[in-house]
Structure 1
Amino acid sequence: MTSQTPDIPTADQIRRAPKVLLHDHLDGGLRPGTIIDLADATGYTSLPEREPDKLGIWFREAADSGSLERYLETFAHTCAVMQTREALVRVAAECAEDLAEDGVVYAEVRYAPEQHLEKGLTLEEVVEAVNEGFRLGERRARESGHRIRVGALLTAMRHAARALEIAELANRYRDNGVVGFDIAGAEAGFPPTRHLDAFEYLKRENNHFTIHAGEAFGLPSIWQALQWCGADRLGHGVRIIDDIQVAEDGTVTLGRLAAYVRDKRVPLELCPTSNLQTGAAASYAEHPIGLLRSLHFRATVNTDNRLMSGTSMSREFELLTETFGYTLDDMQWFTVNAMKSAFIPFDERLAMISDVIKPGYAELKSEWLFRQTVTTSGSVPKTP
């Protein structure tokens, strides 16, 4: 008799499974070959390597330092080649294509418009170029037999003073490709409360926003993001583990903040590989996602920066299945969590869950049961 619980999925099943991505940086996901092409086209001569394979390795090794500040330095090179309309269109289109090829059916990709103005583009021109690229990538993905929808999150930098301006920009384009707002950059010394005017504006406009919090800095960053700023989601939020105690006998005690995050179903945009690189977790086995999953927090799986982490959504799930023994049911749980937490209207989220995600996982589970039946009986079951 075969088990009715699907086993750990294969790499092929993980790749084909419908996935939802909420935390991915446009300037952290370029193809190494594209960086070299754009550097040649724009006259940028400071790349550390000139061969795609070597350049990809350099980004991963430079980011794998255990320091968020060192990790962020790698973006100087990617942003340097993303200063023209043509470059932004290409990078955004390739982003959508790469995610779709990896089985991502819905993605929210974030970028900071203020970082792409060095060659004379306006903020509006940056947004329109990226939107054009995402739509182009979606069309190309459909032509290749994949489906994906990409929404943009406009990011303001924590250390700068343009958050309100970027929030207003996000609001102007909210019905034209932009689904929300974010702040990013080094947490230490740059609390989200520096940008309260932007968050108050977005709340008045009934708009959505997430805040990078609880990655390199701890519980105060999370508390401020939620209680002072009113964030809808936490970008990373992995340090919520600091408010959870596990006794030697396995008894778990949640502090007031952790209990609030769980009770309120605050989505956590967890990025396992990136968290290891920046020192927020020591190993995959020690990553808080395992405990947060078992405690039923609103945990989601994300890539953060695919280039710097040498990762993809499929790779993240492969690592998690190897580490925690996650099944297709677990993958579906994380994916539905993410889709519930997306910044698009409720009916559209529900349609994605009902029409795309659940049927996709049901098909994969049926494949597994079919293989188990064949393995156990030694023959192919007859169709009725």
Structure 2
Amino acid sequence: MTSQTYRPPTADQIRRAPKVLLHDHLDGGLRPGTIVELARETGYEGLPESEPDKLGLWFRESADSGSLERYLETFAHTCAVMQTRDALFRVAAECAEDLALDGVVYAEVRYAPEQHLEGGLSLEEVVEAVNEGFKEGERRARQAGRRIRVGALLTAMRHAARALEIAELANRYRDSGVVGFDIAGAEAGFPPTRHLDAFEFLKRENNHFTIHAGEAFGLPSIWQALQWCGADRLGHGVRIIDDIEVADDGSVTLGRLASYVRDKRIPLELCPSSNLQTGAAASIAEHPIGLLRKLHFRATVNTDNRLMSGTSMSREFELLTEAFGYTLDDMQWFSVNAMKSAFIPFDERLAMINDVIKPGYAELKSEWLFTQTATTSESLD
């Protein structure tokens, strides 16, 4: 191996690197300024702060409680201003713009249509507004010289009873912007098996779905998501670490479930900063992603909720680089993992890997080699 393998990327390289995002919530990524403006336009008076900077800080501090339940409470304010077609269109377009600016080339962004009906919209109108917003954001990104493709994941809430309805909705729009289905919300007391009819429907339709599992709740949640429901991916899945034993001498033993997840190459939608906020890890340096990477699980890096965590894909990789010494090679590994696991057709995934991701990282690495060669020449002088 050359010394290039061990050199950590700079913040600028991390930002420019082509990144893939599989786990990002639309209602968890609004710009604080947009929330303030939409609240004013819609007459919503419940915001805790009226200045964008202070509001952004409030979201981050409120989400830092270590409790998933309290973390989820912050979404009452974002959902409150996302009840009209114009608001949904704007938020979706800005989401695509913001991700493209951060170097994301492919993203799957999820949201729950059932949470955006208070203004009189139908489920179909919600989906169409968001899809059109994503397309507009992609267009704006192209105009700015950036590229991004965004697909929507329609989410059903675990505590509600509309999963089958939302699954059918996702299936109807699967060729016009929606790439899959998800369930989300508090895990404890709301197992995925409550929504088996939705998952059975999607399997009959040969459609894709991921399930929030193994975030705040442990191995039973993961086992049910996989063995009872048949999930293609695990939303978070960080608690799979509970089935991995590390001995004092450093040797590692995988339990049956962890072995199954690794052997079957089941993607883990890991969200480091968010996991800290919900108590799944004590620090980035102690986050299970370090061990899961070493053990070659199908680990991916994600943002979850950019507003609540005050994060971005670049920020997540900066933190991981500081904690684990990750390089551009590691970033490429995570990005290829994510692209392999996306819910778009195989040939389109392959094209993104071979035509966008690998060339993008190769260019960044060649820049480093040029810089190193120049530096060495100068030192010889």
The TM-score bracket by the shorter chain reads: over 0.9
Describe the SS at the equivalent of 1:259.
helix
Aligned-pair identity (%): 90
Aligned partners of 1:2 and 1:327: how far apart in 2?
12
| Offset at residue 138 of structure 1 (A) | 0.2
Structure 2 segments unaligned to the other structure (5+ residues): none
1:145 aligns with 2:145: yes
Q: Deviations over 1:302-342 (max 9, x none)?
A: 00000000000000000000000000000000000000000
| Offset at residue 5 of structure 1 (A) | 2.2
Q: Deviations over 1:239-275 (max 9, x none)?
A: 0000000000000000000000000000000000000
| Offset at residue 112 of structure 1 (A) | 0.1
User: Which residue in 2 is equivalent to 1:347?
Assistant: 347
Describe the SS at the equivalent of 1:109.
strand
Q: Deviations over 1:48-100 (max 9, x none)?
A: 00000000000000000000000000000000000000000000000000000
User: Which residue in 1 is equivalent to 2:57?
Assistant: 57
The aligned amino acid for 2:77 is H
8 Å CA contact retained: 1:2, 1:372: no
Structure 1 segments unaligned to the other structure (5+ residues): none
8 Å CA contact retained: 1:2, 1:373: no
The aligned amino acid for 1:130 is V
The aligned amino acid for 2:131 is N
8 Å CA contact retained: 1:7, 1:368: no
User: Which residue in 2 is equivalent to 1:70?
Assistant: 70
User: Which residue in 1 is equivalent to 2:285?
Assistant: 285
Query: How does 1:226-375 map onto structure 2 within 5 Å?
Result: 226-375=226-375
Describe the SS at the equivalent of 2:146.
coil
8 Å CA contact retained: 1:6, 1:368: no
| Offset at residue 118 of structure 1 (A) | 0.2
Aligned partners of 2:105 and 2:4: how far apart in 1?
27
Report the number of matched residues. 380
8 Å CA contact retained: 1:273, 1:316: yes
The aligned amino acid for 2:40 is D
User: Which residue in 2 is equivalent to 1:11?
Assistant: 11
Describe the SS at the equivalent of 2:57.
helix
Aligned partners of 1:145 and 1:305: how far apart in 2?
26
| Offset at residue 375 of structure 1 (A) | 1.1
The aligned amino acid for 1:48 is P
| Offset at residue 2 of structure 1 (A) | 6.9
Describe the SS at the equivalent of 1:86.
helix
Aligned partners of 2:4 and 2:296: how far apart in 1?
22
| Offset at residue 374 of structure 1 (A) | 1.1
Distance change in 2, residues 1:244/1:87 (3 Å): same
TM-score between both structures, scaled by the size of structure 1 = 0.98
1:112 aligns with 2:132: no
The aligned amino acid for 1:234 is L
Aligned partners of 2:250 and 2:376: how far apart in 1?
37
The aligned amino acid for 2:124 is E
TM-score between both structures, scaled by the size of structure 2 = 0.99
1:178 aligns with 2:178: yes
Aligned partners of 2:371 and 2:287: how far apart in 1?
32
| Offset at residue 4 of structure 1 (A) | 4.2
Give me the CA root mean square deviation. 1.1
8 Å CA contact retained: 1:215, 1:239: yes
The aligned amino acid for 2:154 is L
Aligned partners of 2:320 and 2:22: how far apart in 1?
17
Distance change in 2, residues 1:6/1:147 (3 Å): farther
| Offset at residue 3 of structure 1 (A) | 2.6
